[in-house]
Amino acid sequence: MTRGWLVSMLAGTGVVAGAATVTTFVRFPTSTSLTAEVLYAAVGGVWIAAGLVAWARRPELRIGRLMSAVGFIWLASKAWWPAPLPYTVHYVLSGLTLAVGLHAILAFPTGVLADGSARALVASGYATVLVGNVVLLMFWFPADDPCSGCTRNLVLVDPNLRVADAITMGTLVISIGLAVTAVVLFVRRWGSASVAGRQVLGPVIWASVLATAAVILQDVVDGFTEPPAWLSHVLAYGISVTLGVVPVAFLVGLLRVRLRRGAMTGLMVALGRLPGPDGVRVALARALGDPSLRLVFWQPTSGGFIDASGHPVELPSDDPSSAVTMLEHGGERFGALLHDPFMLEDSTMLDAVGAAARLALENARLQAELRAQLVRVRASRARIVKAGDAVRQRIERDLHDGTQQRLLAIRLALGLIRRRVGHDDAEVQALIAEADGELIAGLDELRSLARGIHPAVLTDEGLSAALAALARRSPVPVELRAVPAERLPRPLEAAMYFVASEALANVAKHAQASHVTVTVARTDGRLRLEVTDDGIGGADFSGGSGLNGLADRVEALDGRLNVSSDAGAGTTLLAEFPVPDSAATQPSG
């Protein structure tokens, strides 16, 4: 049988039961009025109807069934006629209604009692009404009842009005105590609820407080005073109305859970700031008013969930204080929300939250990927520069050890030939001298080519010696300041050397300077190379300057290259590099 059928059948049964209540009254009138009986039937009907709606809308929650049960028991307690069995059942059930009602209120909204105090209170309620009523019936014979002559209760043992009164009074006092405790619990629950929880709980709590207060009032008035008939009626009507309001409040609370528009806007704004995974969690928690909210990520490789810091997370099961909502996209699970069970599933809201969370997580993932890629690119750029340097160094060595040695040998051989030929053959001597001149020029060109590729002095002796050699070759006088004598990491030395070399070449070509200062300084873990001239300034490096290639070299080491060259104020070129402490000094090698 489908749930729909069951619900429909129960609804039909409710209507029949309501009608039966009224009918029995018409056939066996008691001291109450027809209006009151119709009102009672209506209250029971509202509980049943609200329960069935809740059951239909939220079948996974037991609360709907519990609410319907309240309605049925209520109707059953009202429908009686003067026969021993219905009378006895009516009497026991009449107290039970309030106990089941209390159970439903405290179990709202999941249908499960959340904590020990609630369970204890509900158990006490059941015990009081069942035991109290049964024990009472053992002694109470309704002598003053209009129909007293025609029925008796089934459990009557010894008709004794004084004992019955004492039991009634005892039960009454206990009931009042339980009702007061219930009010305290309601208010405490309200106080500790989250914003989302209050949205759901609010109507139920306050309707329940009202109804319980009415019950307490009636108990006190009926139990300890002799109220006039009209007051009894007013109280009875009042209780019925307030009790009828409670299931409506249940429904309002259950169906009210949906994302507030403002909260959704706030969520999108917060997620728009591209927070990390934990930022996403905080934004969701704020938007949903549930500080306990946790966001976990599905890890297909391990088949489990992990939190933002990568630790595995077990999803709670059978924990009434936490609910789990799976986050899926395109049928694929990507995470889950662990949240306050009050933040009940409302598909629109969860779709919105899921989409927002997915967007933010996707952003965070892309950001992380981008960062990782940047790190890889930076590392690969450094490797490329390093590999390039290694190649340059090898070419320089090959030129030096190979070609240059051969040319030098030829020069020595020319010297020997010149000696053999003697001074008589002037023509041959002139030819030899010419060849030697060409050879010297060739050797010079080869040396300067090799130096441009990678200066041997930089490899062998380091930055200080290399800059000194550079300074000596510069046509414009160079003043070297504070160059550290110790060896630095090779890529750093190479970058600084080539920057200085290019800068000095530019000074010689364009600056019309009379003086250049080259400073190398180490401060706060940074190494600064500054080349300043007193020339005409106004240098433009936007074109195809050799400095552009050098900027790549500098940035590959996380450094920065800056040129300031105002017209008439000379040119200052500044290259700045971070120096890892461990690499501050290296033995020369």
Partner 1 sequence: MARRVLEAEGLTVVGEASDGASAIAAASAIGPDIVLLDVLLPDGDGFAVAEAIAGVAARTRIVLTSSRELDDLRSRMALTSACGFLAKGDLSGEALTAMAASKP
Residues lying near partner 1 in the complex (CB under 8 A)? 400, 404-405, 407-409, 411-413, 415-416, 419, 439-440, 443, 447, 455-457, 460-461, 464-465, 468-469, 472-473
β-pair partners for 480? 518
- In angstroms, give the least distance from the CB of 394 to partner 1: 16
Residue 28 CA, chain-centre distance (Å), reads 64
Residues forming a β-bridge with 479: 517
CB closer to partner 1, 98 vs 456:
456
Cβ closer to partner 1: 22 or 505? 505
In the complex, least distance from residue 513 CB atom to partner 1, rounded to whole angstroms: 22
**Please, what is the minimum distance in Å from the beta carbon of residue 297 to partner 1?**
60
Angle at 506 between CA 571 and CA 568, to 5 degrees: 30
Nearer to partner 1, 423 or 472 (CB): 472
Order of all β-strands in the sheet with 560-564: 478-481, 516-523, 526-533, 572-578, 560-564
Q: Are 285 and 293 in contact (CB under 8 A)?
A: yes
Phi-psi region of 525 (alpha: psi -120 to 50; beta: other; left: phi over 0): left
> Residue 420: exposed, middle, or buried by beta-carbon count in 10 A (0-12, 13-18, 19+)?
exposed
What kind and span of H or E run contains 285? helix 277-288
In the beta sheet, which residues pair with residue 575? 529, 561
∠ at Cα 108 (107, 110), nearest 5°? 85
Q: What amino acid is encoded at 226 in this protein?
A: E
Coil vs helix vs strand at 479: strand
User: With contact defined as beta carbons under 8 Å apart, do 81 and 27 qualify?
Assistant: yes
Cβ distance to partner 1 smaller for residue 461 or 502: 461
Query: Whole-number minimum distance, CB 400 to partner 1, in Å?
Result: 6
Q: Cis link prior to 109 (omega < 30° from 0)?
A: yes
User: At its nearest, how many Å lie between partner 1 and the CB of residue 528?
Assistant: 23
**Cβ neighbourhood burial of 314 (10 Å; 0-12, 13-18, 19+):** exposed
Cβ-based nearer residue to partner 1, 89 or 468: 468
The smaller minimum CB distance to partner 1, of residues 105 and 458, is found at: 458
* Structure token digits, residue 322: 């936490």
To partner 1, the closest distance from the beta carbon of 495 in angstroms equals 20
Amino acid residing at 371: R
Of the two residues 243 and 520, which places its CB atom closer to partner 1 in the complex? Answer: 520
- Per-residue DSSP letters for 72-107? HHHHHHH---SSHHHHHHHHHHHHHHHHHHHHHHHH
Estimate to the nearest angstrom the gap between the alpha carbon of 225 and the chain centroid. 59
In angstroms, how far apart are the furthest CA atoms of the chain?
Answer: 169
Euclidean distance between the first and the last CA atom of the chain, given in angstroms as a whole number: 89
3-state DSSP assignment of residue 225? coil
Q: How far is the CB of 404 from partner 1 (least distance, A)?
A: 6
CB of 549 vs partner 1, minimal distance in Å = 24
- Indicate the residue among 248 and 407 with the shorter CB distance to partner 1: 407
Taking only Cα atoms into account, the Rg of the chain, rounded to an integer number of angstroms, comes to 47
Min dist CB 471 to partner 1, Å, is 10
Smallest distance from partner 1 to CB 363, Å: 55
| Least distance (Å) between residue 376 CB and partner 1 | 38
Nearer to partner 1, 29 or 475 (CB): 475
For 327, the 3-state DSSP assignment is strand
Pick 105 or 456: Cβ nearer partner 1: 456
Quote the CA–CA distance of 548 and 552 in Å, as a whole number: 7
CB of residue 412 to partner 1, shortest distance in Å? 5
- Are 335 and 372 spatial neighbours (Cβ–Cβ below 8 Å)? no
Q: Which is nearer to partner 1, 10 or 466 (CB)?
A: 466
Q: How far is the CB of 395 from partner 1 (least distance, A)?
A: 16
User: Smaller CB distance to partner 1: residue 400 or 515?
Assistant: 400
- Name which of 161 and 413 has its Cβ closer to partner 1: 413
> Cβ contacts of residue 523 below 8 Å, gap of 6+?
none
Write the CA distances from 573 to 12, 461, 481, 518, integer angstroms.
92, 24, 15, 10
- Choose between 380 and 405: whose C-beta lies nearer to partner 1: 405
CA dist 286 and 136 (Å) reads 54
Minimal distance in Å, beta carbon 442 to partner 1? 11
**Identity (one letter) of the amino acid at 49?**
A
Q: How far is the CB of 410 from partner 1 (least distance, A)?
A: 10
Q: What angle do CA 170, 174, 178 make, to 5 degrees?
A: 170
Which of 112/468 has CB closer to partner 1?
Answer: 468
